[in-house]
Amino acid sequence: EVSEMSERSNQNVAHGLAWSYYLGYLKIVLPRVKASMEEFSRANPNLPACRETWKLHILVPLSCEVYDDLEKADSNIQYVTDLTETTLNRAGIKKRVYKHSLYTVRDEDNKHWHCALEFAAPLQALHAMSQEECAALGREQRLEQAKLFYRTLEEILQGSRECAGTYRLIAYEDSGEAESHFLSREILWHLRQQRHEEYAVREGTQPPPLPAALSSTELNLQVSASDLPQPLRSHCS
C-alpha cells in the first residue's frame, strides 16, 4: 500500500532518477574527467589551461528545459571539440562510448572561458513525463521533482569520494526568452567563482568578492514534505 501511494503521488521519481544518473553515468565518467582535460591540454598548448575549472559542469534547469544544442540556447556558448572517449563494456553493450564536449563561453569583454559542459539528461525524462497524460505529472509537480532531483544528486555527489572535485552543479531558474545570454552569464559566474575559490586556497586568504552583477541566481530549493522520497516498504526485512 505504501508503495502504491508513493507511485501515485510521484514521490520516488526524482529520487530514483538522481540515483540512476549517479550510478549509471556520473560514477563512471567523473573520475576520468581530469585526466581527459589534462590530455586535451597537452595536445592543445595554444589554449589557456585553467585547472580550477577542469571539471564536468552539469546544467540543472529547474524548468527541465534541456537543449540538445547548447549553441542554440545561447550564442555566447560555442562548441570546441570532444574530450577523450572512455570505452567500457556495459550491460551487454560492447565498447560503449562515454565522452564529454568542450565549450567556450564568451564573456562581456569578449574573453573566452573553456569548460566541459552538459545538461543533466534525466531532466529530459521529467519534462517528457509532464507531457504525458498517463504520467500524471503536472507543471508544479515537475518543478518540485526538479528541485528534489537537484538536492538528492547534490547529497549523493557530496558523499562520493570517487567524484570529489570533478564536477560543478549549475542549478538555475530560467529567466525567460527576453534574456538571450542568461545561460552564459550563469555559467560564467560559476567559472569565476571556482577561480576565486582556488585563489583563496592557494593564498590562504579570503578571495576578493565577485561583482554584484555576477552573483548567481538565488534558488528557492525548498521541497514540501509530501514530495520527499518515501521508502517502498513500511519496515525493513
Which residue type is seen at 202? R
Helix (H, G, I), strand (E, B) or coil at 221: coil
Is 73 a domain residue? yes
Is 223 a domain residue? no
Enumerate the β-bridge partners of residue 106: 112
Q: Which of 15-29, 31-45, 131-145 has the lowest mean pLDDT?
A: 131-145
- For residue 211, the 8-state DSSP code is P
Enumerate the β-bridge partners of residue 97: 87
230, 11 in Cβ contact below 8 A?
Answer: yes
Is 113 a domain residue? yes
Domain that holds residue 30: 1-204
**3-state secondary structure labels for all residues of 42-103:** HHCCCCCCCHHHCCEEEEEECCCCCCCCHHHHCCCEEEEEECCCEEEEECCEEEEEECCEEE
Helix spans in the chain (H): 2-8, 13-21, 27-29, 33-43, 70-73, 122-131, 139-158, 182-203
What does pTM read for this prediction? 0.80
**Number of domains the chain is built from:** 1
Confidence of residue 179 (pLDDT cuts 50, 70, 90): confident
What pLDDT was estimated at residue 5?
41
What pLDDT was estimated at residue 119?
97
- Cα gap 63→76, rounded to integer Å: 21
What pLDDT was estimated at residue 205?
54
Is 232 a domain residue? no
Confidence of residue 196 (pLDDT cuts 50, 70, 90): confident
CATH number at residue 177: 3.40.50.12100
- For residue 134, the 8-state DSSP code is G
Q: Is the pLDDT of residue 236 over 50?
A: no
Is 215 a domain residue? no
Rounded to the nearest integer, the mean pLDDT of the chain is 80
- Cα gap 18→154, rounded to integer Å: 9
pLDDT digits (tens, 9 = 90+) for 85-112: 888 888 899 999 999 999 999 999 999 9
Is 5 a domain residue? yes
Is 66 a domain residue? yes
